[in-house]
Amino acid sequence: MIFKQFFDEQSSTYTYIIGSEKNKESLIIDSVADNVDEYLDFLNHNKLKLLFALDTHIHADHISGMSLLYEKTGCKLFMGEHTTAEGLTRKLQNNEELRVGDMIVKVIFTPGHTSDSYCFLIDDMLFTGDTLLIGETGRTDFQNGNSESAYNSLFNIILKFPDNTKIYPGHDYNGKKSSTVGYEKKTNPRLQVKSKEEYANLMNKLNLPKPKKIDIAIPRNIKLGKK
């Protein structure tokens, strides 16, 4: 398997390219428009064909690279069925499986951070978008976020995966690149709550500033990053 994690300095977003060594097919998760040339260089260098571009949800802090990637490579564009994004090849169903070379990508609906948040599982790697971050969890105060649904997605879906499942988040603000389900379960301060109510209380008290680009990013990302 070919695996590459890219970091966008401006928005602290992680983007992932995962490719099959065997037949050189690949996918990209949570691309950033500003960094599309870097992705194309990586694909060319590794002789990878980009089959799919996936976003975990409509992002509020950066412009998605999906429409640019489509222009440059003709890849298929997918998001989960709860998204309001327009121009996708198709919307993915919860529990659907996509094949990329010899890899299977499992689609998992995990609402809470937003009402359209999905995670993607490839082997033992779970790409969590903003549902679960390292030492944090995604905020739930805009884009139809809901702290009770987030609790359900975290405790009844993500934390049910085996402890050694690797977590690859959509962001990190402290230079951490990956974690595991077991480590987050033990150490993530947001996951030490005893009930849905306690989690909702914790999330409702965060008082985070509004993301700087939200008013530009959301309308653009509904069009998959197109101007």
Identify which range of 10-18, 71-79, 98-106, 129-137 contacts Fe ion by CB under 5 A.
Answer: 129-137
The residue among 25 and 118 lying less far from Fe ion, judged by its C-beta, is 118
Residue placing its CB nearer to Fe ion in the complex, 101 or 145: 145
Compute the least distance from the CB of residue 227 to Fe ion, in Å. Answer: 21
Return the beta strands (E) in 72-124 as ranges: 76-80, 90-92, 97-100, 103-109, 118-122
Alpha-carbon distance 103 to 98, whole Å? 8
Q: Which of 10, 12, 60 is nearest to 218 (CA)?
A: 60
Select from 5-13, 38-46, 124-132, 210-218 the region that touches Fe ion (CB under 5 A): 124-132
Bridge partner residues of 167 (DSSP): 126, 179
Number of residues that bind Fe ion (CB under 5 A): 1
Provide the minimum distance between the beta carbon of 145 and Fe ion in the complex, in angstroms, as a whole number: 9
CA angle at 187 for the pair 31 and 153, rounded to the nearest 5°: 55
Select the residue interacting with Fe ion from 130, 136, 172, 184 (CB under 5 A): 130
Tell me the closest approach of the beta carbon of residue 104 to Fe ion, in angstroms. 25
How many beta carbons lie within 10 A of that of residue 197, not counting itself?
12
Residues that bind Fe ion (CB under 5 A): 130
